[in-house]
Amino acid sequence: MMNKIKFLLASLLSLVFSTANATEISVLEETFFQSGKIYVVVAVCLVILIGIFVYLFRTERTLKALEKEVYEKTK
């Protein structure tokens, strides 16, 4: 799991830094400039949805712990 995350991070970082040179069009820009930059909207939409769902899942986890405690107390 850690390795996977490390690999993902490394590839993401290399993607980010490959765009540091502004004179040439990078892979990143090529992808996102397609069809009038519509993929920027897709990315933004995905980030928001994923963000909100991650937050909801975290809330659920807290709630689960809480439920457990309530059951133990009322037992």
Partner 1 sequence: MKHIWWKALCILLLVYTLLMTFYVGLNPGLIAVSSSTVEPGYNEFTLVGYNTTFESNKESIQVFLRSDSSFICTEILEIEDEDKVKFGFISPANLPTPSLDIYCNNNNDGTLFLANALFVEGYTAGPLENSCEVKVEKDAQTAFGYPFQPRIFESIRNLMLHVPMWFTMFVILFISFVSSIRYLSKPKIEWDLRAETSVNVGLVFAILGLITGSIWARFAWGAWWVNDPQLNGALVTTLIYVGYVVLRAGINDDMKRARVAAVFNIFAYVILFILLMILPRFSEGLHPGKGGNPGFNTYDLNSSLRAVFYPAVLGWILLGYWIYHLRLRMNRVRHKLYYDE
39-75 in b/e burial notation, b at 16+ Cβ within 10 A? eeeeeeeeeeeeeeeeeeeeeeeeeeeeeeeeeeeee
CB 28 within 8 A of CB 19: yes
Q: Scanning residues 3 to 32, which ones bind partner 1 (CB under 8 A)?
A: 16, 19, 22, 29, 32
Q: How far is CA 28 from CA 5, 10, 47, 48, 63, in A?
A: 20, 15, 17, 20, 40
Out of 4, 35, 57, 71, point to the residue binding partner 1 (CB under 8 A): 35
Residue 24 beta carbon to partner 1: minimum distance, rounded to whole angstroms:
13
Closer Cβ to partner 1, 10 or 48, answer by number: 48
Residue 47 touches partner 1, criterion: CB under 8 A:
yes
Residues of this chain that interact with partner 1 (CB under 8 A) are: 16, 19, 22, 29, 32-33, 35-38, 40-41, 43-45, 47-48, 51-52, 55-56, 59, 62-63, 66, 69-70, 73
